Amino acid sequence: MRGPHNIWRLIRTGATFERTGAMGAVLDAMEAPRPLRVAARVLGWPFKWLGYPGDPAMPPITRALTALGPAYIKFGQVLSTRPDVVGQELADQLRVLQDRLPPFTVEDAKATIRAELDVEPDATFESFGEPVAAASLAQVHQARLATTGERVAVKVLRPGIERAFRRDIDAFYFAARVVELLSPASRRLKPMDVIGHFESVVLGELDLRLESAAASEFAANTKDDPGFQVPRIVWPLSGRRVMTLGWAEGVPLGDNAALDAAGHDRRALSERVLQLFLRHALRDGYFHGDMHQGNMKVAPNGDIIAYDFGIMGYIDPYTRRVYAEILYGFIRRDYLRVAEVHFEAGYVPPDRDVHEFARALRSVGEPIFGMDATRISMGRLLAYLFEVTEKFGMETRTELILLQRTMVVVEGVARSLDPRMNIWEVARPVVEDYIQESIGPRAVVRDLRETARVLTRFGPRLPGLVESALIRQADPPKDPEPPRRWQPALWAGLGAAAGAAAVLSLGLL
| Coarse DSSP helix, strand, coil percentages of the chain, rounded to the nearest 5 percent | 65, 10, 25
C-alpha dihedral (250, 255, 257, 261), degrees to nearest 10: 10
Alpha carbon distance 358, 361 (integer Å): 5
Q: Please state whether 262 falls in left (phi above 0), alpha (psi between -120 and 50) or beta.
A: alpha
Q: Which of 371, 364, 290 is nearest to 330 (CA)?
A: 364
Q: Which amino acid is at 489?
A: A
Q: How many other β-carbons are positioned within 10 Å of the β-carbon of residue 447? A: 12
Integer-rounded Cα radius of gyration of the chain: 26
CA distance readout (Å), 196 to 136, 190, 202, 208, 251: 19, 10, 10, 20, 35
The set of residues, in sequence order, having a beta carbon less than 8 Å from that of 151 and lying 6+ positions away, is 142, 143, 144, 246, 247, 249
Exactly one of 84, 170, 290, 308 is catalytic; name it: 290
Q: What separation in angstroms does the CA of 19 have from each of 11, 47, 50, 52? A: 12, 9, 8, 7
The C-alpha atoms of residue 478 and residue 253 are separated, in whole angstroms, by 72
Kindly report the number of other CB atoms within 10 A of residue 395's CB atom.
15
Contact of 84 with 50, CB cutoff 8 Å: no
CA distances, 338 to each of 32, 158, 330, 333, 335 (Å): 33, 45, 7, 9, 5
108 is catalytic: no
DSSP code string of 164-198: HHHHHHHHHHHHHHHHHHH-GGGGGG-HHHHHHHH
Residue 347, judged by CB atoms within 10 A of its CB (0-12, 13-18, 19+), counts as middle
Q: Is residue 485 classed as helix, strand or coil in its secondary structure?
A: coil
CB under 8 Å to 281, separation ≥6 — which residues? 287, 313, 315, 320, 323, 403, 406
Q: How far apart are CA 357 and CA 469, in angstroms?
A: 43
Cβ-count burial of 249 within 10 angstroms (0-12 exposed, 13-18 middle, 19+ buried)? exposed
Which amino acid belongs to residue 112?
T
Give Cβ neighbours of residue 146 (< 8 Å, ≥ 6 apart): 123, 124, 125, 126
Q: Among the residues of 303-350, which ranges form H helices? A: 317-332, 335-344
Sequence-distant (≥ 6) Cβ neighbours of residue 175 within 8 angstroms: 6, 10
Residue type at 318? Y
Annotated catalytic sites, by residue? 290
